[in-house]
Amino acid sequence: MLVYQDLLSGDELLSDSFRYEELFDGCLWEVEGKWVQQGPVDVDIGANPSAEGGEEEGVDDQAVKVVDIVDTFRLQEQPPFDKKLFLGWVKKYIKNLTPKLEPEAAEVFKKNVEPATKFLLSKLKDLQFFVGESMADDASMVFAYYKDGATNPTFLYFAHGLKEVKC
């Protein structure tokens, strides 16, 4: 199994169990998340406790719906960004990430980060912002939004900010 860690914070943000599509020559990865139910599962084994003289016991625990990617990688939601805050974060992110990349990867990143950022800016009002478990505000950010009519969120990652680790 492969896990993708943030190059800047070391937080695990994704794994190869989630398929991704590349956008902007691989600068962004697009990953489909899905809502899943966690908690107690009601299993009917065919017994009727009241007919057998027993009492029917209810379960106090409530099942909860969570987004698989957010839950699996313990992503922490951040307050929404306005255009000024977002562009400030992007500039800082590029400055911090570029020196950690191989020269060839840095060139590809620099070439494609502007159109990728414009794409994200066009969706800014619809985006949810997440950081990894360490909550490092100068590290990679994961963006989520709902495509037209979708019931499951789509996540966007800056691919150059991820490091592949074999588990």
Task: Kindly state whether residue 136 falls inside one of the protein's structural domains.
Answer: yes
CATH number at residue 89: 2.170.150.10
Task: Kindly state whether residue 151 falls inside one of the protein's structural domains.
Answer: yes
> How many structural domains compose the chain?
1
Task: Kindly state whether residue 49 falls inside one of the protein's structural domains.
Answer: no
C-alpha–C-alpha distance, residues 79 and 87, integer Å: 15
Task: Kindly state whether residue 126 falls inside one of the protein's structural domains.
Answer: yes
Domain of residue 148 covers 2-33+69-166
Task: Kindly state whether residue 110 falls inside one of the protein's structural domains.
Answer: yes
Per-residue pLDDT of the chain (167 residues; tens, 9 = 90+): 999 999 999 999 999 999 999 999 999 999 999 999 987 766 666 656 555 555 555 555 678 899 999 999 999 999 999 999 999 999 999 999 999 999 999 999 999 999 999 999 999 999 999 999 999 988 999 999 999 989 999 999 999 999 999 98
Task: Kindly state whether residue 89 falls inside one of the protein's structural domains.
Answer: yes
Neighbours of 151 (CB within 10 A): 8
Task: Kindly state whether residue 48 falls inside one of the protein's structural domains.
Answer: no
Task: Kindly state whether residue 105 falls inside one of the protein's structural domains.
Answer: yes
